[in-house]
Amino acid sequence: MSAKSTKLAIPLAALLAIALGGTAAYVLGVPPFEERGDIGAESVCESLGNPAEAARALERVLPDAPEYSFDDTVSGGSVAQGDSDYTADCFVSGNGKILLSARTELVPVGSPGGTPEDWASEALDGSSPEEDETFAAGSKGVVSADRAAVLVPCAGPGKVPGGSYSLSVVVDGKGAAGEDGSGVRQGLTDLAVGAARFSHEKAGCDLPSELPG
């Protein structure tokens, strides 16, 4: 082999070794490629409902991050005691930012602009109507590409000052980038239903939830 061809072969071999090494690193999950953090049932927010089901749904929705943290707050009294200040908030963070939030609160029924359709439009934050889907849950269940919301009957007249109340549950995927589109929507839907079921019991609601299952 000529001196010229020998000099060319060495750099090519080096490049091939680097490429193979990079592929092996990716397959084995070693730096610089980050592994996806575990989402254990013992770590997820209590307010998301059944922990195992919530963990599976989060796996579908959340983007990759080396680790995830959960911040859960449930406050307010029971409607059985005449309280209307019940709220539940779950925040899931990773890569230094909030990746998902779930907000549950009591809302009065029949207030101006308070139809289920008006509520759905606000809950989905003005997403494109042709991309929204409905699902059977509570008074109204809606899901978009990165949000899901459920409106659930809670307190009838006479239980809480101000009339009847529903629970509004909104899960915001913050531009969810987990599985494919249908997988993300299903995950968001499952999270919203799970959170609604938890709060319907926790808030002491006396009306049937009309939730599936």
The answer to the question of residue 207 being in a domain is no
d(CA 46, CA 203): 14
- Asked if the structure places residue 17 within a domain, the reply is no
Tokens read off for 175: 């531009």
Asked if residue 39 is part of any domain, the answer here is yes
The total number of structural domains that make up the chain: 1
Handedness of CA 117, 208, 185, 148 (dihedral sign): positive
> From first to last of its 213 residues, what are the pLDDT tens digits of the chain?
444 444 434 454 444 444 444 444 444 444 444 578 899 999 999 999 999 999 999 999 999 999 999 999 999 999 989 999 999 999 999 999 999 999 999 999 876 556 888 889 889 886 666 778 999 999 999 999 999 999 999 999 988 888 899 999 999 998 666 556 789 999 999 999 999 999 999 999 999 999 997
pTM (whole model) above 0.85:
no
110 assigned to some structural domain: yes
Q: Please indicate, yes or no, if residue 210 is contained in any of the structural domains.
A: no
Distance (Å, whole) CA 33 – CA 64: 11
CB 74, CB 48: distance < 8 Å? no
Beta-carbon contacts of 127 under 8 Å, excluding residues fewer than 6 positions away, are 144, 145, 147
**Which domain, by its residues, includes 135?**
34-202
Q: Confirm whether 11 is domain-assigned.
A: no
Encode burial over 45-68: b for 16+ CB neighbours within 10 A, e otherwise.
bebbbebebbbbbbebbbeebeeb
pLDDT of residue 180: 65
| Radius of gyration of the CA atoms of the chain, in A | 24
Question: Mean pLDDT in the chain?
Answer: 84
The DSSP result for 76-122, as a single string, is S--GGGT----EEEEEEEETTEEEEEEEEEEEETT-TT-SHHHHHHH
Instruction: Answer yes or no: is 2 within a domain.
Output: no
Which residues share a beta bridge with 168?
Answer: 105, 151
Give 74's Cβ-side CA count (13 Å radius): 15
What is the reported pLDDT for 213? Answer: 77
Give the pLDDT confidence of 139-149 residue by residue, as tens digits: 999 999 999 99
In a domain, 15, yes or no: no
Q: How many other β-carbons are positioned within 10 Å of the β-carbon of residue 93? A: 16
Cβ atoms 173, 100 nearer than 8 A? yes
- The whole-number pLDDT of residue 125 equals 82
